[in-house]
Amino acid sequence: MDKNTLTGLVLIAAILIGFSIFNTPSETEFRSQQIRDSIAKAEYFNRQQQQIANQAEKDSLNRLIRMREDSIATADALYLEELRQTDPWMADSLATVKAAEKRQRAKAKSLARNSKYGSFAMAAEGEDQDYILENEKMKVVLSGKGGRVTSVAIKGYKKYDSYEDSTLNLMDKATSGFGLYFTENGQRYNTNNLYWETKDKGFEVTGNDSSSITFRLYANNPSQYLEYTYGLAGNSYHLHFDVKAVGLSHLFDPSHPKFRLDWKILAPAKEKSVEAERRTTTVMFKSFEEKRDYLYETGTDSMALEHAAYWVDFKQNFFSAFIVNEKGFLPNESMVKREHLTGNAYTCGLKADLVFEAHEGGANPSARLEFMFAPNHFQTLQRYNRDYEQVIDLGWGIFGWVNQYLVIKVFNWLEGTGMSYGIIILILTLLIKSILLPITYRTYKSSAKMRVLKPEMEALTKKYPDKKDAMKKQQEQMALYRKTGVNPLAGCVPMLIQMPILYAMFRFFPSSIELRQEGFLWADDLSAYDSILDLGFNIPFYGAHISLFTLLMAGSTILYTRMNSGQMTMGAQPGMPNMKVMMYLFPVMMLFFFNSYSSGLSYYYFLANMISIGQMWLVKNYFINEGKIREKIEENKKRPKKKSKFQERLEEVQRQQREKTKRK
């Protein structure tokens, strides 16, 4: 440590100590703060006590009212019983009048209490009941309150560490909402909390069968109502949804009738890592003209739809809840929102306010929509030909193409053999490295040529140590490359060709539902992190566990870097970081980045590193002879080299640059 560094550290420590002393409150300030805190606590306690007293008074008054009503009812009942013994006809007539008065009071009370629901005030009270629709793929629960979907269980999947059943819920009743909203007499209300009626029952369908159930929300006038019809076919993830308004034209713009829908859920946590699931839970939407778009998976975000949306998806990592409108949800008027949550019960709040035109107008506007509740399995979503598969993040551009047309096809072919997924990843890695072997060979060969030239390159560095000689040094390096026939970029091009596959695999493994809850060796879920030790405390940027696959990956990367470091022809340069140090720092950074990532991905990179180490050893010892390469380079030095037009232009530019420097 030099003198300047030591002085800087001492000054920083002095500043921190001085700042701490300066900001330490005096005894008077400390006592004043204590008094303020005591007053605040007393005021808070008094408010709490007052609220409790007010609630107790309210409860006592309600009890007295109920006792009075019960006493009157008891007295009326006794009087009717005595009257029935002497005059039965009069008793029955009086009972009828009393019942009518009771219904009228209840109706008036209901209307007064629920006037905020406008035309549907009479539906503000009722009895809730659940109705189950079921097929081979899923079980959908509908509720009479709201007439809506309250729960969807995808069959064949389960929540992490749940052994109770084999189903998995995408939403639950208490934390979800779905309803049309209207504005009437300046009051906006939602049908989510109103009670719908149905004469149908739940059902189960299989194979090619299908069935439906219809809910009606009656207005104060029984000839006016909203109608929901849900239809489900066997062996399908689709739930058909029709909405119709009968005799409610006063709630719509007659020239342009629109439905306004509010849908929201808190997404239940289902995976091993809640934070990893939270990062991949968001709202996605697909317009007719554009590819799917989405809200960023960090923080709270909202967006008005800029284009008519074909579908909107509440994507929950490995599962999706779509709502589809073939006519489109209207842009600018529709919006979506994602709300960040904390805790382990739910990952995010997902919300969509959707506006869509009635498909059929007139006095009874109606529209047809669809729900799609499904796992994010590529072939399953692709089968519907609605671009559902775009919600799976396979990477953009060429990276997505590599995954879609190469990696997924090979993976599914291997999956059909019935082998464990750990072995499938091993074979997939071997196949990919075999395909890349010719490219890898060219990279190693180029590196061998650079190693042969390394002494001469170092000699040039010693010859031109100053920055002012950098141009001359570069010119002589280029001349040496041209003279020996070595292309310094020959090793870079093969690496660039490999990059799409490397990045494609980075996207493939965390997005593959096939790996979900599939164990291998010590990892119990290849789609989540593996842990050989739970620390019991959290290390910032690292986590509260130790992933062995990540350690193996980082260790193999260090080993590969060490074996490959001899190919480096450049150490630390003035003003530039030491590249070898950077290469060793990279695996350390990977420990933090990959510790909470998919163990399947870390396992793949570990295998790829070990195979690369083996390939390097074989190529270096059995396929590349540096002695022959040196002889070839010496022969090239003796041959006259004809300059290419590009080289001539480059040298001319360099000559002009030298002359310009001399004039200065």
Backbone angles phi, psi at 219, to 5 degrees: -80, 180
Question: DSSP for 624-645?
Answer: --HHHHHHHHHHHHHS--PPPH
Query: Of the candidates 536, 532, 560, which has an alpha carbon nearest to the alpha carbon of residue 546?
Result: 532
Q: What is the pLDDT of residues 37-91, one digit of tens each?
A: 555 445 544 554 565 555 556 556 656 666 666 666 676 677 667 667 776 766 6
Query: Of the candidates 132, 135, 133, 137, which has an alpha carbon nearest to the alpha carbon of residue 374?
Result: 137
Check whether 5 has a pLDDT greater than 50: no
Query: Of the candidates 170, 167, 165, 168, which has an alpha carbon nearest to the alpha carbon of residue 149?
Result: 170
Backbone angles phi, psi at 324, to 5 degrees: -120, 135
Say which amino acid occupies 502.
L
d(CA 158, CA 271): 9
Maximum average pLDDT range among 16-30, 520-534, 554-568: 520-534
Which helix (DSSP H) or strand (DSSP E) does residue 614 occupy?
helix 599-618
Query: In Å, what is the CA distance from 17 to each residue of 4, 10, 30, 65?
Result: 20, 11, 20, 68
Q: Which residues pair with 145 in a beta bridge?
A: 195
Q: Which residues pair with 139 in a beta bridge?
A: 134, 153
**Structure token digits, residue 579:** 């590249």
The predicted pLDDT at position 529 comes to 87
Name the residue with higher pLDDT: 526 or 481: 526
The predicted pLDDT at position 141 comes to 93
Angle of helix 599-618 relative to helix 579-594, nearest 10 degrees, comes to: 150
Q: Output Rg (C-alpha) for the chain, integer angstroms.
A: 37
For 126-224, strand residue ranges (E) read: 130-134, 138-143, 148-155, 167-169, 176-184, 187-190, 203-204, 210-218
Q: What is the pLDDT of residues 417-426, one digit of tens each?
A: 888 999 999 9
- Answer yes or no: are the C-beta atoms of 311 and 323 closer than 8 Å: yes
Check whether 490 has a pLDDT greater than 90: no
Name the residue with higher pLDDT: 610 or 436: 610
Check whether 368 has a pLDDT greater than 90: yes
CA dihedral 509, 512, 514, 515 (to 10 degrees): 40
How crowded is the C-beta side of 69, counted as CA atoms within 13 Å? 8
Over range 397-426, report the average pLDDT. 86
- Answer yes or no: are the C-beta atoms of 488 and 496 closer than 8 Å: no
Query: Of the candidates 170, 132, 618, which has an alpha carbon nearest to the alpha carbon of residue 373?
Result: 170
d(CA 475, CA 482): 11
Query: Of the candidates 474, 617, 600, 500, which has an alpha carbon nearest to the alpha carbon of residue 547?
Result: 600
Instruction: Give the DSSP letter of residue 469.
Output: G
Full-model pTM: 0.71
d(CA 564, CA 561): 5
Least-confidence region, from 52-66, 372-386, 415-429, 493-507: 52-66
Confidence of residue 587 (pLDDT cuts 50, 70, 90): confident
The predicted pLDDT at position 572 comes to 45
- Answer yes or no: are the C-beta atoms of 168 and 154 closer than 8 Å: yes
The predicted pLDDT at position 16 comes to 46
> Helix or strand or coil: residue 181?
strand
Instruction: For Cα atoms 112, 117, 121, give the angle at the middle one, nearest 5 degrees.
Output: 55
Check whether 338 has a pLDDT greater than 70: yes
- Answer yes or no: are the C-beta atoms of 101 and 94 closer than 8 Å: no
Say which amino acid occupies 473.
K
**Structure token digits, residue 433:** 């490295």
Least-confidence region, from 84-88, 311-315, 362-366, 564-568: 564-568
Least-confidence region, from 115-124, 198-207, 485-494, 600-609: 485-494
Least-confidence region, from 1-10, 134-143, 280-289, 475-484: 1-10
Question: For 577-597, what is the HEC assignment?
Answer: CCHHHHHHHHHHHHHHHHCCC
Burial of 369 (0-12, 13-18, 19+ CB in 10 A): buried
Name the residue with higher pLDDT: 286 or 583: 286
Check whether 387 has a pLDDT greater than 70: yes
Q: How high does pLDDT run on average in the chain?
A: 78
Least-confidence region, from 446-460, 506-520, 597-611: 446-460
Name the residue with higher pLDDT: 167 or 555: 555
Question: DSSP for 541-586?
Answer: TTEEEE-HHHHHHHHHHHHHHHHHGGG------TTS--HHHHHHHH
d(CA 29, CA 38): 14
For 482-563, strand residue ranges (E) read: 533-539, 543-546
Q: Which residues pair with 231 in a beta bridge?
A: 212, 240
Q: Which residues are CB-neighbours of 489 under 8 A, at least 6 positions away?
A: none
The predicted pLDDT at position 638 comes to 60
Name the residue with higher pLDDT: 394 or 576: 394
